[in-house]
Structure 1
Amino acid sequence: MFVKDKSLFSTNEETERVQRRWEGFLEFKLDLSRTKDLAAGAGEFVSSVDFSVGGQVWKINCYPPGSRREKYGDHLSIYLQLVSKPPKSVKVIFEVFVMRRDGKPCLSHFYSRRCMQVYPLPDGFKEWGWHRFTTGSDLKFFYMVDGVVTLVCGVIVVGGEYEPVSSVPHSDLASHLGGLLDCTAGSDVSFVVNGETFPAHRAVLAARSPVFKAQLLGSMADAKMPSITLHDMDPAAFKVLLRFMYTDSLPGDDELGFPPSALHCAEMYNCPELKRNCIAFVAKEENVKKTLLTDWFLLLVQKILSIIAELRKKLGV
């Protein structure tokens, strides 16, 4: 019987746009101590898990100790089968080699084989490979470890009128967490900022910030409170902070209210680099008039008097 450890299958699939070549390998473990039971039935075989290479699905079929229908006796028969729809005009290389007891591949001609086939196969053929790959007695004597022999099977697909289907999709983690924040499902804590309430999730905030971790999961009193009131914080700025914690992204300048909200936070929390960037933003020719003449900037100046002096210095007036 075969011991098929699915976790051992690893795809080493590469797309070379010029050569159009894809590769995949499968580690196959054969329990030779039970091959007699399997061989009792004519044509009995064991298949590997399905695996994808070159946009197609394949599997390996083994007949230990040999295919009875071919009457190859003690010889191990091993074949490659295409499970999905046959591609148009591609070359497929099938290779198999035995792993030695020290964990290294055996590259001897008797225990390492390679052959090529062109698809689609002739009518009546579903699999191809070797009727007499090697003898079961040799495998038991030289390569068996605790009753098991390890075979490595490789499939190389060259050409074809298709693209591989196993490309990795873009991560949508940020959109999922952002949706969680929007719908407030499962929220277990809320923040009150200047009368506005923001539901959130302790686990997410604790994972993203050591400050929130200490506040929400540590020994502080806030860890047991369902609602936390924050002082000296602008609701719009806190909303942006929460969005960043969940999605690792910031809104555009028009949504952020940059630089007034950011400038206020930079002054309040002693962030000199952020403050310099905000002052530089306001001092740009295209931003001076539309920033200095707004009501919210006048209110900000009343809270932070030093802004006028720093702006004059930046503007050279």
Structure 2
Amino acid sequence: MPRHIPSLPLPLQITKISSSRSRRIITEHVPTTYSFQVTNYLQLKDAGFHACVTSPGFSVGGYNWQIAFYPDDEDGYTSLYLRYLGQATDVRAKCTVSVLGNDGQPPLVCRDTPEDVSPSELPGHLERMLRDGRCSDVTFRVGGRKFRAHRALLAARSPVFAKLFGPMPEKGTRRVVKVVDVEPAIFQILLHYIYTGSLPACHDEGGYDGMVMEHLLVAAGKYGLEKLKLMCEEELCRRIDEEALVTTNY
């Protein structure tokens, strides 16, 4: 990653969905490019987890947007999100992000040897730790079920949990938290994502149904899990596209 990221061009395609007695989809192509300059990148990356830099609001296709840039996001990655600032619920956008160097060109990355892409064992170890509940120090009561977890890990992954737990207590103390606005099955999926960074395997053909993804999207927003929100939104948008295609063919 270069010291400075002069611009992040975002070619946007705005899609507006409308409904009548027969569902249809209308697509408007808006060839727009927006450049967002980020300076002092290294200093921003050292600012700490969840530090965010936002762009001024800008308009594309009559809708207002904003870029949210996280120099040091989850797992040490740099992340960028496109936020919709309006109130309408029938607007979607697709964008392509390009990272440019100081000379306005994409940076070149050269390696003498191929990069090691072997899968990490860490997600599997963390999943086992969640399943076994070993050394857990908090219990969640959700409906009629109990889930044991680890406050330090939850606080590191979610700003909401970090605020809820506050300073770490003395060793040997245990806390019980009652969750009243999330279904047990959804909370279990949420914990699995927090520990492993992925959703648990779904054995149903076609994956999780739309209702599960909608509830998971709400839970992800409640606990400040931006990447999980994005995963849910992309899956729901994909389903809308498939339904629109089926309706058109019919």
Q: Which structure ranks higher in relative contact order (CA pairs < 8 Å, sequence separation ≥ 6)? A: 2
**TM-score (structure 2 length as normaliser):** 0.39
Give the structure with higher Rg (CA): 1
